[in-house]
Structures are given as C-alpha cells and as structure tokens.
Amino acid sequence: MLKIRLQRIGRKNDPSFRVVLTDSKNSTKSGKFLELLGTYNPKAGEKVLIAERIKYWMSQGAKASDTMHNFLVQDKIIEGKKINVLPKKKPTQKRKELKAAKK
C-alpha cells in the first residue's frame, strides 16, 4: 500500500522534512521513496505541498499518515476532521500504588 508521509532530512537539532510517496513497508529512515510531494521546515514554518500530485496519488489509493492528513486538512487540500496524533496520557497514580506495584 502506498503512503504519503514525512521523511526527516537535515542535521542533528535542525529538522526539516520531505513529503514523500513511499511503500508502507519501507521504514521511515530507509530513504526509499517513489515521488517527492513537498517539503516542511518546522523551524521556519515553511510548508510547500504539491497539491495536484497529492490529490492524484490519493485518487490512486495512497493513504496519508496521521500528521500528513492533518497538514492536508489544514491547507484545504482534502476535507475532513483532524486526527489527534498526540499520545494518550496515563492516569496519575498515587505513591502507595506505585510502591505496591514495585513489590
């Protein structure tokens, strides 16, 4: 299955990302991708997306990652609701419960 997702590039402590079309079986750090669909620089706040190609690939059955889905909704390339991508918080436990769990 084809995925549209972010691929990190750039130096340590200086993140920037490519928006790529890749097979979902490829790992995010493999560097393999089929097509470059845009860039994202979080430090400068720059986001360049090639809307025509993204719409084309989504019509061919490609799925966007959760973060990419939120970017596409924000830029009105696709319609829908944003997806919560933050991890769920664990309920707080009291110290006695923590000590009992350790024993």
Q: In this predicted structure, what is the pLDDT of residue 43?
A: 94
Distance, CA of 77 to CA of 61 (rounded, Å): 16
Distance, CA of 29 to CA of 24 (rounded, Å): 12
Instruction: Supply 22's token pair.
Output: 């890749």
Q: In this predicted structure, what is the pLDDT of residue 96?
A: 62
pLDDT tens for each residue of 11-25: 999 999 999 999 988
Using DSSP's 3-state secondary structure scheme, residue 22 falls into strand
Mean pLDDT, range 89-98, rounded to an integer: 66
| Structural domain boundaries in the chain | 2-74
pLDDT tens for each residue of 37-80: 999 999 999 999 999 999 999 999 999 999 999 999 999 999 99
Q: In this predicted structure, what is the pLDDT of residue 29?
A: 77
CATH of 2-74, one of 3.60.9.10, 3.40.50.720, 3.30.1320.10, 3.50.50.60: 3.30.1320.10
- Give the pTM: 0.79
